Amino acid sequence: MKLYNLVVIGEPEVGKTSLISSFISDYSIKCYKSELVSGLQTCIVKINTDIEIKVQIYDMTTNDRSILLTNQHLPSAHGIIIVYDITNDQTFNSCKNITKKLISCINSNRNMMIVGNKLDKNDVRKVERASAELFAQQNSCIFNESSAVTGEGVKEVFEEIVFSIYKDWDRIFDRPKTNYYFALALTVIICAVVIIWFV
């Protein structure tokens, strides 16, 4: 079973922790050992009805901006979810800054998603979906909106990024290993040809 590491980042009060909890508590998800590590949840996510992926979700605050550059979970993350509050445009500005920092310091091939949370407060929305979606497209990020309170869009957020990692896994994460074995095999063949030639 493959293991995917997800990091969920956002300003305090955007609801990222509630977003994770809402997803974890879904009846169709098998979770275990989530209480053993602070800020870390582990669960099994099923995609394509028959494929199970083990997912570790790390809840990361942006209170300390230096964490973005030093946090041990970021280099090993296969996917990153940046959360903002649709009723607070300052959190969206922070989301944009975080996204740009991550793109500049982390592998650009990494699967990233921008999520507008608190969809249950759509009547007091400050960040328009269209502008947030456009920013996501411009930065090659997946986009979605959700409500950790009602559960709307929560399952789709996590399943979409897990499926995106699944689709890109061979291209992004297994390619170096494939290239290594190809180069090794080629070297062996060349050596064999040289030996035969001189014998």
What is the side-by-side strand order in the sheet with 142-145? Answer: 30-31, 40-47, 51-61, 3-10, 79-85, 111-117, 142-145
* pLDDT(115) > 50: yes
* Angle at alpha carbon of residue 193, lines to 188 and 198, rounded to 5°: 130
> Could you count the other beta carbons within 10 Å of the beta carbon of residue 61?
15
Ramachandran angles phi, psi of 142, nearest 5°: -75, 150
pLDDT digits (tens, 9 = 90+) for 171-192: 655 554 445 455 555 555 655 5
Predicted structure pTM score: 0.79
Ramachandran angles phi, psi of 178, nearest 5°: -60, -45
CB 112 within 8 Å of CB 145: no
What's the pLDDT score for residue 109? 57
pLDDT digits (tens, 9 = 90+) for 158-173: 999 999 999 887 665 5
- How far, in whole angstroms, is CA 91 from its chain's centroid? 19
pLDDT digits (tens, 9 = 90+) for 10-24: 998 999 999 998 988
Domain range list for the chain: 3-173
CATH architecture for residues 3-173: 3-Layer(aba) Sandwich (3.40)
Ramachandran angles phi, psi of 108, nearest 5°: -65, -15
What's the pLDDT score for residue 110? 72
Burial class, 197, CB count within 10 angstroms (exposed 0-12 / middle 13-18 / buried 19+): exposed
* pLDDT(66) > 60: no
